[in-house]
Amino acid sequence: MRLFLFLSTLFALYLNVLAHNYLVVSPVFGYSHIKFMNKVADTLADAGHNVTLLQPYTYEHWGTIRLAKNKNIEIVDYHNKDAPNHEQSASVFAFFWDSEVVNNPITGAIAPMFILYNEFKPMCDKILTDKELHKWILSKKFDGYVAEAFDFCSLFLGDHLKLNLLPMFSTIKNVPGSHAIGEPSLLNYSPSLHTNYGPEQTVFDRIQDITAFTSFHYAFSNLYERQYNLAYSLLDGDVRPWREILQTATFFFYNNNPYIGFPMPTLPKSVEIGGFTIDPPKNVKLDEDFDKILNLRKSTVLISFGTVVQAADMPDRFKDGLVKMFTNLPETTFIFKYEVEDDAFSKRLSENVILKKWVPQPALLADPRLNVFITHGGLGSTLEVAYAGKPSVMIPIFGDQMLNAKMLSRHGGAVSYDKYELGDSEKLTKTVQEVISNPKYNENALLLADILHNQPIEPKDNLLKHAEFAARFGRVHALEPYNVHYNFIKYYMLDAYTILIFCLFVFLYLIHLVVKFIYKRLCRSKSKTD
């Protein structure tokens, strides 16, 4: 017994020596971002590392956030009592349902960035100037400082404190970030939000791709640049530009999965971890209420439009189309996540519709009695339905949801449906009925799920191994391509091409002279012979 205790103690000490000390910064802003960063914290803590989770509350309306599941994580809530007293809520984004600003590929990319800068600024001011916070962070001697490159203020803080940065991004690609670390353009590899992909793509799609990618590049670059100017001012210039921060970080983590997303050019610095947030429910039992609901009819459909844009704020003409579709499919039960009590709307619904303010989405998707998922196509829901092997109807509302719908539907287990056709009840009914009844959707969805569950490198392992490597070795210069230091002319080798083209013309001109000379000599010889 004593020997066992001795060996256990030695093993625990050995693990403690190997453990790294991480700070994960998770601004309390959007649910998907919070969930992503909390899952990063869980993954590191589950592997035996010491993790501190710093939560700066950009918005207070969330209440106290506790999404991290590992009990060993030290959670530090950081509030801004001096911030303007304006509470953000999902209803603020209601205009996303039906706004030309959002749907335009140019304004849809640029306009939100100006809004986000103003939303982030109060907390950005506070964390960059709070010397006590800075002393506390430095006192912990963190091996790795994990922050998302969405609100870049956290990374500017980490850079100012000269910490080992591990930047992350909770969507499939950060266009200016990708360019900053030296990756080539995504053009011809991925469609933009409103264009076709593959053989259906036209020259007009390619023109729009150029416009859209340029707009997204400008939008995020502008946000980061404005935040850098703020950080530079508040920190007396002791902070590097955002591009240099990303270029010198050992890795840049993306929430993309290569087996779902579009094949895109990447560097070894880009680490794709899409799917690490998914915990397939094992022996999860639904509560009695949901269990009964799934047994009501021969088919069941779950409807959820996420947390940013509420289903309750849907335009009336869209709701009309849904109401008629419910009536047209009486043999199907619809579980509809609807955020508010709405008696007027409830009275319009047929008996096969059940409204719920909250649903256990992963558990429902794992249940074989659920047939189809109608979703907005947020990346979290996209990954969940892909791993669950469930057919889906994706109705993107704004932003990257449109791209997520394209990338999942190309696998054959999902249908991308235009939100502006929600009012067309006949088309909506046919689409949902087709996905429910046609076995090809289920077969394709199950095939993709099988691929994801058997991919050569598990996303969690990919995240963990790269995070441990970065914590151990810090900056690895060998992973930094030199092309990031080139100007426009050098990057596209215009100077070299100019010289080569000049040499080619000189060569062709010399050949012309030689041919001309030989021709004249031959003509003279022929005339003398005659």
CATH number at residue 54: 3.40.50.2000
Give DSSP secondary structure letters for 226-289: HHHHHHHHHTTT-S--HHHHHHHSS-EEE---TTTS------TTEEE-TTTT----SS----HH
What six digits make up the tokens of 307? 């947390």
Tens of pLDDT, residues 279-322: 876 667 788 999 999 999 999 999 999 887 889 889 999 999 99
Give the span between the Cα atoms of 29 and 32, in whole angstroms: 9
Pairing relationship of beta strands 74-78 and 144-148 according to DSSP bridges? unpaired
Q: Note the pLDDT of residue 183.
A: 93
Run of H or E including 188: none
Question: Do 510 and 401 share a domain, yes or no?
Answer: no
List b or e across 321-331, with b for residues whose CB sees 16 or more CB atoms inside 10 angstroms: bbbbbbbbbee
* Alpha carbon separation from 510 to 343, 514, 524 (Å, rounded): 87, 6, 21
Question: Do 439 and 464 share a domain, yes or no?
Answer: no
Question: Do 315 and 464 share a domain, yes or no?
Answer: no
Q: Note the pLDDT of residue 7.
A: 52
Question: Do 250 and 318 share a domain, yes or no?
Answer: no
Run of H or E including 285: none
For the chain, counts of helices (H) and of strands (E): 20, 13
Run of H or E including 132: helix 131-139
What six digits make up the tokens of 247? 């270029």
Instruction: Tell me the whole-structure pTM to 2 decimals.
Output: 0.88
What six digits make up the tokens of 346? 């409830």
Q: From the CB of residue 476, how many other CB atoms can be counted at a distance below 10 Å? A: 15
Question: Do 363 and 242 share a domain, yes or no?
Answer: no
Give the span between the Cα atoms of 41 and 142, in whole angstroms: 14
Residue 7 maps to a domain: no
Give the span between the Cα atoms of 443 and 454, in whole angstroms: 17
Residue 4 maps to a domain: no
Residue 10 maps to a domain: no
Question: Do 247 and 336 share a domain, yes or no?
Answer: no
Run of H or E including 109: helix 107-129
Tens of pLDDT, residues 243-289: 999 999 999 999 999 999 999 999 999 999 999 999 876 667 788 99
Q: Helix H segments across 280-400?
A: 288-294, 316-328, 343-348, 361-366, 379-388
Residue 282 maps to a domain: no
Determine the structural domain holding residue 406 and report its residue range.
Answer: 288-453
- All residues at 6 or more sequence positions from 103 whose CB lies less than 8 Å from its CB, including other chains: 194, 398
What six digits make up the tokens of 410? 């190309």
Question: Do 198 and 308 share a domain, yes or no?
Answer: no
Q: Which residues of the chain have pLDDT under 50?
A: 10-15
Question: Do 143 and 270 share a domain, yes or no?
Answer: yes
Cβ proximity of 246 and 167 under 8 Å: yes
What six digits make up the tokens of 195? 């264009």
Residue 446 maps to a domain: yes
Taking 3-state DSSP, the helix, strand and coil percentages for the chain, each rounded to the nearest 5, stand at: 55, 10, 35
Question: Do 293 and 266 share a domain, yes or no?
Answer: no
Question: Do 468 and 496 share a domain, yes or no?
Answer: no
Structurally, how many domains does the chain consist of?
A: 3
* Alpha carbon separation from 422 to 153, 154, 304, 317, 344 (Å, rounded): 39, 40, 14, 8, 20
Strands (E), 17-98: 21-25, 50-56, 74-78
Q: Which residues pair with 146 in a beta bridge?
A: 24, 166
Q: Note the pLDDT of residue 290.
A: 94
Question: Do 38 and 175 share a domain, yes or no?
Answer: yes
Q: Note the pLDDT of residue 437.
A: 96
* Alpha carbon separation from 300 to 42, 337, 396, 481 (Å, rounded): 33, 14, 21, 51
Give the span between the Cα atoms of 8 and 32, in whole angstroms: 39
Based on the number of CB atoms within 10 Å of its own CB, is 29 exposed (0-12), middle (13-18) or buried (19 or more)?
A: buried
What six digits make up the tokens of 293? 């609901």
Instruction: Provide the Cα torsion 269, 223, 147, 399; round to 10°.
Output: -80
What one-character DSSP code corresponds to residue 193?
T
Residue 283 maps to a domain: no
Which residue bears the tokens 């719920």? 356
* Alpha carbon separation from 443 to 75, 300, 409 (Å, rounded): 43, 17, 13
What six digits make up the tokens of 528? 């003398």
Give the span between the Cα atoms of 493 and 418, in whole angstroms: 42
Q: From the CB of residue 184, how many other CB atoms can be counted at a distance below 10 Å? A: 14
Give the span between the Cα atoms of 376 and 359, in whole angstroms: 15
Question: Do 492 and 479 share a domain, yes or no?
Answer: no
Give the span between the Cα atoms of 373 and 435, in whole angstroms: 10
Q: Note the pLDDT of residue 24.
A: 98
Give the span between the Cα atoms of 446 and 436, in whole angstroms: 14
